[in-house]
Amino acid sequence: MIEAVTFDLWNTIFENKSYSKNRIEFLEQYFTKKKQIITKSSIQVCYNKVFNYLEMNKAQEDFQHVYTEKIIIRMLKCLDIELARNEIKEIVTSMEQEMLKSPPMLKEGVIDTLKQLSQKYKIGLISNTGITPGKVIREVMEQYDILRYFQITVFSDEIGYNKPKHIIFQKTLEVLECKPENSIHIGDLLDTDVKGAKNYGMLSIWFNDMNEKRDDDIISDFEVRKMIDVLNIINNLDYTKKI
């Protein structure tokens, strides 16, 4: 019997939205104010280099979350710029809050799905974060009036690890007081959401609204194109268990 439903955030609850361009423009303006003559193209090169490095080394670092300050320090080293600690903190804060200026849109059907599921199940959010931390994401969720549907929101910057690391799923279900076999996770990425949930003993729904090609090495229990279709799957699971 399903007792808890957990969701991924990006491209599941929220539409994917990149803030890289805004952050690069901010850095260019910041360095100009500090009399550091750095071209936008140089910032772009270092920005991409740092993020490419982090992506390539995620698995080797045991899925540890990489904090914004570390990203900024690597970028400054690439640009051969030295800043005081308070200046680095200033950059970190500005870059982390960029999302508040232009929040991403909600995926179609999210509000109706959350509203109906919350009447019967415990609801959790399990999200990896990049530069935007959980505290900022919660503000945006509050603006959309969907934070109230979640009993727990767990972000990698607060746990210290990214999906598919089991601890991020474990912490969520501990708060929800639910066993893995009585829970189901919904997300758009096979290698983080589906793999992580299944490895921890949860059922999984692949939210594939972009009609991506299936990875035969990672197979979800269910697949949907529309968020609202999640309701039928979960309700049918409960009905099957009862009879």
Q: Quick one: 133 and 203 in the same domain?
A: yes
Of residues 93 and 64, more confidently modeled: 93
Looking up tokens 């959350």, which residue turns up? 114
Write the DSSP assignment of 173-213 as a string of letters. Answer: HHHHT--GGGEEEEES-IIIIIHHHHHTT-EEEEE-TT-PP
Q: Count of domains in the chain?
A: 2
Which of 101, 126, 149 finishes a domain? 101
Whole-number pLDDT of residue 84: 94
Rounded mean pLDDT, 51-76:
80
Q: What is the mean pLDDT of the chain?
A: 92
108, 90: one domain: no
Q: Report d(CA 34, CA 212) in Å as an integer.
A: 45
- 169 and 198 in a single domain? The answer is yes
Structure tokens at 242: 């009862």
The string of pLDDT tens digits covering residues 9-53 is: 999 999 999 999 999 999 999 999 988 888 999 999 999 988 877
- Segment 90-103 shows an average pLDDT of 96
Q: What percentage of the chain reaches a pLDDT higher than 70?
A: 94
Does residue 129 surpass a pLDDT of 90?
A: yes
157: how many CB neighbours lie within 10 A of its CB?
Answer: 23
* pLDDT value at 59 more than 60: no
Domain of 153, in residue numbers:
4-16+103-242
